[in-house]
Amino acid sequence: MNRQNVIDYIRAEYDVDYEQLWMKYPDFFVFRNRQNKKWFALVADVEKAKLGLTGEGKVDVVNLKCDPLLLGSLRLNPGYLPAYHMNKKSWITVLLDGTVPAEEIKSLIDLSYDLIAAKK
């Protein structure tokens, strides 16, 4: 799954479009829940070195809210990293380079959306 696939999935599934909040980072796209305005996904291009990866250049990622009980086991797998610029206890960064299967990413997007949904 690549950046555009993630954007298309979120648009189709949740009927929300991204916001570009930072002029300095034009390729950082934030997705929010319509009702409570909480973020559930951040699609970004990040320098590999900032993620602890080898090589030069940037890589596309998606940051997602995650159940803290899943974080440790997910990070044991290729393509999953501690959250970039987010709370590492409740967010995870997923590489969008084909390492993680599309269905896993979709499931994590759905989980992220559910976790930030308004609670009564």
- Digit-coded pLDDT (tens) for 41-89: 999 999 999 988 999 999 999 999 999 999 989 998 999 998 888 888 8
**This prediction's pTM:** 0.91
Residue 31: CATH number of its domain: 3.90.1150.30
Whole-angstrom Cα distance, residue 37 to residue 66? 17
**CA nearest to 86, candidates 100, 71, 96:** 71
State the residue range of the domain holding 83.
3-116
How many domains are contained in the chain?
A: 1
pLDDT digits 0-9 by tens, 37-52:
999 999 999 999 998 8
Q: Tokens representing 50?
A: 């900032």
pLDDT in the model for residue 10: 97
pLDDT on residue 33: 94
Nearest-angstrom CA–CA distance, 58 and 60: 7
